Amino acid sequence: MPVYKDQLKRTISLDAVPKRIVSLVPSQTELLCDLGLEHSIVGVTKFCVNPTHLLASKTSVGGTKQVNYDKIRALNPDIILCNKEENAKDMITELEHIAPVHISDIYTLNDSLELINMYAELFNTSIQANSIIQGIKKSKAEFEDFIAIKPLKTVAYFIWKSPWMVAANHTFINHLLIENKLDNIFSTRDRYPEIDLDTMKTSPDLVFLSSEPYPFKENHINEVKTYFPNSKVVLVDGEMFSWYGSRLQKAYVYFKTLSEMYR
């Protein structure tokens, strides 16, 4: 029986290539589809909105934090795909009673490329995976040439309000900010801390308001400007900064367009 490791170095045993997949992470669901595995997906979360038609044809088993275990059990999956950050530990423990669980753990681009290679091995999709990886590397190299001559700027990246929360160190978002030649003013903090804007003394060059998980809109720009009057406040596509996997082929093109807006 083949034995595989996930990104937490856990081992899982599979009798054969999984044919019935439950994916509980939106960016990983998108990756599966781009690997040509849409036909094998039987269950997804309500947040798995890409491709846009997917929810109409697959069983929604809940969100990323809470799922319907009976629904998942009824789907008789061969494997369940999770993520350390997105899915709670107690949820994963319960899911392991249903089927083998593969867990991703993404902080850097290399972590993302490793996951794509892991899926290539798990699902026998090496040709498709190699094409995606080469596409990401090509797009990244072109962006690196573009960004190299740009000046370094400071940034704050907001993901939530009430309470205000930002992306800080040890996050995939922060890794991509660094690649954008942006110095995160909260890089001395960890993960996704709450911020008291009334006590803020630092005003970055840029303030990014992410489209997810909190759906920041145009009307929030003026509100944030009251706290950061000297900063340029920009709405950004949160999927481009937080969805790893095949989305990265589009992300670096988006970063170039975004940079041209604020530099």
Instruction: Give the CATH number, domain containing residue 13.
Output: 3.40.50.1980
The angle at the Cα of 17, spanning 14 to 23, to the nearest 5 degrees, equals 85
159 & 236 share domain: yes
Residue 215: its pLDDT value, please? 95
Residues facing 215 on adjacent strands: none
Residue 202: its pLDDT value, please? 82
Q: What is the pLDDT of residues 184-205, one digit of tens each?
A: 999 999 999 999 998 888 899 9
Look at residues 58, 82, 105 and tell me which one is the last residue of a structural domain: 105
Domain hosting residue 148, numbered range: 142-262
The structural domain count of the chain equals 2
| Residues 6+ positions from 126 with CB-CB distance below 8 Å | 120
- The pTM of this model reads 0.93
For residue 242 the two structure tokens come to 């937080």
Q: Determine the Cα–Cα distance for residues 199 and 202; give it in Å rounded to an integer.
A: 9
- Could you tell me if residue 22 is inside a domain? yes
Q: What is the pLDDT of residues 134-158, one digit of tens each?
A: 999 999 999 999 999 999 999 999 9
Residue 92: its pLDDT value, please? 95
Q: Which of 228, 253, 68, 243 is nearest to 154 (CA)?
A: 228
- Could you tell me if residue 134 is inside a domain? no
30 & 95 share domain: yes
Residue 1: pLDDT above 80? no
101 & 171 share domain: no
Helix ranges restricted to H, the chain: 26-34, 54-57, 69-74, 89-95, 109-123, 126-147, 172-179, 219-225, 238-242, 248-262
Residue 2: pLDDT above 90? no
